[in-house]
Amino acid sequence: MPGPQPTVSVIVPVYNDAERLGLCLEALARQGLPRSSFEVLVVDNGSAVSPGEIVAKYPFCRLLNEPRPGSYNARNTGCLAAAGEFLAFTDADCRPHPDWLENAVEYFRGNPQTAAIGGRIELDVPDRPSAAEAYERVFAFRQDKYVLEYGFAATANLVVRRSVVHQVGLFNGAVKSGGDRDFGQRLHLAGHRMDYVPDVVVTHPARAMLGELIRRRRRLEGGYRSVGKLSTPHDEWRPQTVEGTQKGVRMGLTLLATPGRVGLRSFQGVQVLLVAGMLVVVGAFERIRLWSGGVPVR
């Protein structure tokens, strides 16, 4: 006879990142939620070397394969195979805190009207960060802003009722970035509620190299363009708006005048602004390339 159904199905897409996947699975092995209450579905998205050897070390994990490129295709494969009442999404380079699943389930039980939660994404930044890591410390993974102002949660830390996914549909596998934003829009249009829950935490390493930030910015531009095309039917829904330009100016002044307020040394504020300017230029060139018929990068 089949065993009891898990309460949570954790879905972890992976692409050529077996070493950090091992750290993620080790963190999942230390969850406070009873082992029988959750399953972990690792979905390999075409890695050059299969992570099967690493996954096999953890009896609570199952390895699936999704050959179609794109992390949203991989997440969808995990969704279709999941048995849990809740679907918890994180990435191979993340390390969930020991109470990640326990706190998520407890929040859902106490808030039956909540359909999805975006948890806090804590950046792992060294004491002496590179320019890229300093930039990440200031600007990366502002999950509270994503959820409260823009109505979506980054899939590095998103937990959803499985019944809601069945209602609003899977992620759009056609996009390489921005599928979390599109999913959040559809969730809100269907009348569901998403909450930001700061004690549902995963740790994500800060990107250490400028090349990583450039690739991410190019990928995001492709996502903005693709999701922009998809979002036409979602025009009824609007996220909360904020004073974008004024807020950006204030942040720039803070970085120059009092960088210690955001955890940086004096010269690092200038570094962060230079990196931000460089990424603006990268984004502009990428938009031109996409407008000229280029294909979004993975």
pLDDT in tens, 133-147: 777 777 777 899 899
Which ranges constitute the DSSP H helices of the chain? 18-29, 52-55, 71-81, 100-110, 131-139, 143-145, 162-168, 179-189, 210-230, 244-257, 266-291
Neighbours of 151 (CB within 10 A): 19
Query: What's the pLDDT at 242?
Result: 43
Predicted TM-score (pTM) of the model is 0.81
Query: What's the pLDDT at 264?
Result: 59
Which residue ranges in the chain fall short of pLDDT 70? Answer: 1-4, 208, 223-266, 298
Q: Select from 3.90.1150.10, 2.60.120.10, 3.40.50.620, 3.90.550.10 the CATH code of 8-209.
A: 3.90.550.10
Structure tokens at 240: 């909360």
Query: What's the pLDDT at 226?
Result: 60
Structure tokens at 96: 């969930």
Query: What's the pLDDT at 232?
Result: 39
Query: What's the pLDDT at 219?
Result: 73
Domain ranges of the chain: 8-209
